[in-house]
Amino acid sequence: MCGIVGYSGIKSVENVLVNKLKLLEYRGYDSSGIAVKSGENIKVTKAKGEIANLERVVEPLEGATLGIGHTRWATHGVPCEINAHPHLSMNKEWTIVHNGVIENYSALKTELKERDYEFVSETDTEVVVNLIECYSGKPEVKYDLAAIIKACERLDGSYALAVLNRKSDKIYFAKNKCPLYCGVNDGEFMLSSDPICFVGFSNEYYVLENGEFGYYGNGKLFFCDESMRQTEKEPVKLDCSAYNFKNDFSHFMIKEIYEVKDAISNIMEYYSEKSSWRHFDEIDFKSIKNIKIVGCGTAYHAGLVGANIIERQLGAECGVYVASEYRYASTKTDKNTLAIFISQSGETADTLAAEDIACRKGAKTLAVVNVEYSTLAKTADYFLPIKAGVEIAVASTKAYVAQIVVLYLIAARIKSNLGCGETPVKGELERLKNAVTIRNIEHYKRIADELKSRRSLFMIARGADYCTALEACLKIKETSYINANAYYAGELKHGFLAIVEENFYVCVFASDEKLLSKTLANAEEAKARGAKLILTTCCDLENYNKSNFDIIIKTPKTDELLQPAADIVPWQIIAYYISVAKGLNPDKPRNLAKSVTVE
């Protein structure tokens, strides 16, 4: 997590840094700070909380033309001004901002303390900046960049760094396992954790690779490897259309829910081209004996839906794993495995580590990712984009639906490549597009209003509907802090029925026709104990007692394999409106960040 930015140029550096940090705020927002430089004078300003707090206290430093900034999601030490970046070395020669985690920071800190280094913060980052200072004092280390490289050689873990030296007018940078990009434009330089910062700055940017270092200074941009050998890089074109900002919506979350439909259109257009499958079609599917799907959070839930699609379409067994578990489990993975890694950001640390493990075990790895320039998209053997467009809100919405749709297409493609028949995907996706078109917004607002003061909620479901229940709970938990939990409906009598009491809300997901009567029977058991019921279903309820339900959310019917993608949308909207009704910011839930780049 955390976002870093650097700028050198002609504009008011404080404004540039603060404005760019606002774009990176989705990466962490518990504190922020900037360091700007004029001559040998470095001025650091920090604030706890959102960037707006920093903006309020920043004052310009006369003559400052370069600087670095940071928005933090705390890993080492509580969110406070002292732990906020930038951090200075003990002798104030060096200043640093850091995204990532230094795993051996404790040992390094002890070593530095033995050399009389003193620390003011609890962060791992302060160790890095002091290590650089320590190396820069050695006679054999002639260049600033060499000191940074030497320090980085000692680091275990991940980092994207931007570094200033008091006596130099360069911005130095280093990257290992955390994203970092930079660009130049007519005498200006920008460094950032996300290309979003290049919008309005330049039409192209450079993607830093792991183990790469460099600097910008005196109009020169320099990249090198750990031996200080210059590396040649080609810039990447910036797709500005991808970065459409909030427009008239109050929050990114609701804007992005409205974009679910566009995401499906984009997928349909992109995957109707044969060339989009060119690489994927090279896989020898006959050699695949088992399929694994791996992801975290919402991506994991999309994987659960995907596994059901794959098993039903291909008759093949498909295991689904949370990435943080998969990476330490002895799950059978070998050269006959197709391991599918799902991630919106493509930067989730656990998912990247899991991909690396599967790759080393000989599996064919496939990344199903939204951010096309991300690490996962690059490191996996095969890559299929989900084409959802930029997703800013921490709660993943359109990406979830897009992940399911791409998994649906993957299953259909494998089936076709194996000669096992064709799936009428175009018609089914048109149907889904219609189903996710937002109607009844007032109905959802009323439900949100009804649920906003609840401390907990239960969701029950069977089969694939259970995935929808899990994802609905996650959306509600992260945006409105209500303790929502999903259970298999058949498990009701095995424990949690004990919790149900008068006026307790139980949300029932029952779109699977075959399981409808079973699930509704379980719902009645809760009703008999005084529960209030909210039913979400695409099924016809003619033969059922509708009056059992206090609220019904009727969703349009789609291909049953895609139904979870349609049924989640009302709950994304409800979660959004509960958050708004509680006066929270749905785009930035407490304690969370969009991109989890630490384990």
Closest by CA to 176, choosing from 117, 98, 112, is 98
Q: Which is closer to ligand M6R, CB of 297 or CB of 463?
A: 297
107-146 footprint of ligand M6R as x/- string (CB under 6 A) = ----------------------------------------
Considering only residues 368 to 407 of the shown chain, the ones binding ligand M6R according to CB under 6 A are 394-396
| Least distance from ligand M6R to the Cβ atom of residue 465, Å | 19
Query: What whole-number distance in Å separates Cα of residue 87 and Cα of residue 44?
Result: 9
* Residue type (1 letter), 121: S
Query: What whole-number distance in Å separates Cα of residue 489 and Cα of residue 466?
Result: 9
Q: Which is closer to ligand M6R, CB of 24 or CB of 36?
A: 24
DSSP 196: G
| Least distance from ligand M6R to the Cβ atom of residue 271, Å | 20
161-190 footprint of ligand M6R as x/- string (CB under 6 A) = ------------------------------
| Least distance from ligand M6R to the Cβ atom of residue 389, Å | 14
| Least distance from ligand M6R to the Cβ atom of residue 532, Å | 26
Q: Does 539 bind ligand M6R (CB under 6 A)?
A: no
Q: Which is closer to ligand M6R, CB of 371 or CB of 497?
A: 371
Q: Which is closer to ligand M6R, CB of 310 or CB of 474?
A: 474
| CA 75 vs CA 72, 84, 593, 597: distances in Å | 9, 11, 12, 11
Contact 87, 129 (CB under 8 A): yes
Cβ neighbours of residue 155 closer than 8 Å, sequence gap 6 or more:
102, 104, 108, 128, 131, 176
| Least distance from ligand M6R to the Cβ atom of residue 351, Å | 5
Beta bridge partners of 338: 291, 364
Stretch near ligand M6R under the rule CB under 6 A, chosen from 178-186, 215-223, 291-299, 531-539: 291-299
- Please state, as a whole number, how many other Cβ atoms lie within 10 Å of the Cβ of residue 281: 14
Helix axes 144-153, 125-136, angle to 10 degrees: 130
Planar angle of CA 515, 517, 519, nearest 5 degrees: 65
Which residue's Cβ has the minimum distance to ligand M6R?
A: 297
Please indicate whether residue 420 is annotated as part of the active site.
Answer: no
Which residue among 297, 306, 385, 389 contacts ligand M6R (CB under 6 A)? 297
- Please state, as a whole number, how many other Cβ atoms lie within 10 Å of the Cβ of residue 493: 11
Closest by CA to 459, choosing from 401, 412, 509, is 509
335-374 footprint of ligand M6R as x/- string (CB under 6 A) = --------xxx--x--x-----------------------
| Least distance from ligand M6R to the Cβ atom of residue 474, Å | 6
Considering only residues 469 to 508 of the shown chain, the ones binding ligand M6R according to CB under 6 A are 474, 478
298-317 footprint of ligand M6R as x/- string (CB under 6 A) = xx------------------
- Catalytic residue from among 22, 37, 175, 594: 594
Query: What whole-number distance in Å separates Cα of residue 388 and Cα of residue 541?
Result: 34
Q: Which is closer to ligand M6R, CB of 331 or CB of 370?
A: 370
Total residue length of the chain: 599
Q: Which is closer to ligand M6R, CB of 296 or CB of 320?
A: 296
| Least distance from ligand M6R to the Cβ atom of residue 294, Å | 10
Q: Residue 309: in which H helix or E strand, if any?
A: helix 297-314
Q: Is 329 helix (H, G, I), strand (E, B) or coil?
A: coil
- Please state, as a whole number, how many other Cβ atoms lie within 10 Å of the Cβ of residue 539: 21
| Least distance from ligand M6R to the Cβ atom of residue 503, Å | 29
Contact 416, 281 (CB under 8 A): no
Query: What whole-number distance in Å separates Cα of residue 570 and Cα of residue 507?
Result: 13
Please indicate whether residue 178 is annotated as part of the active site.
Answer: no
Closest by CA to 339, choosing from 326, 349, 348, is 326
416-455 footprint of ligand M6R as x/- string (CB under 6 A) = ----------------------------------------
Laid out side by side, the sheet with 337-343 consists of 318-322, 290-295, 337-343, 364-369, 382-385
| Least distance from ligand M6R to the Cβ atom of residue 342, Å | 7
- Catalytic residue from among 2, 296, 467, 507: 2
* Residue type (1 letter), 217: G
Task: Please give the structure tokens belonging to residue 299.
Answer: 């991506």
Which residue among 296, 357, 482, 566 contacts ligand M6R (CB under 6 A)? 296
DSSP 366: E
DSSP 157: B
Stretch near ligand M6R under the rule CB under 6 A, chosen from 19-27, 146-154, 295-303, 558-566: 295-303
Q: Which is closer to ligand M6R, CB of 144 or CB of 350?
A: 350
Task: Please give the structure tokens belonging to residue 488.
Answer: 């298999």
Query: Catalytic residue numbers?
Result: 2, 594
For binding to ligand M6R (CB under 6 A), which residues are involved?
296-299, 343-345, 348, 351, 394-396, 474, 478, 592, 595-596
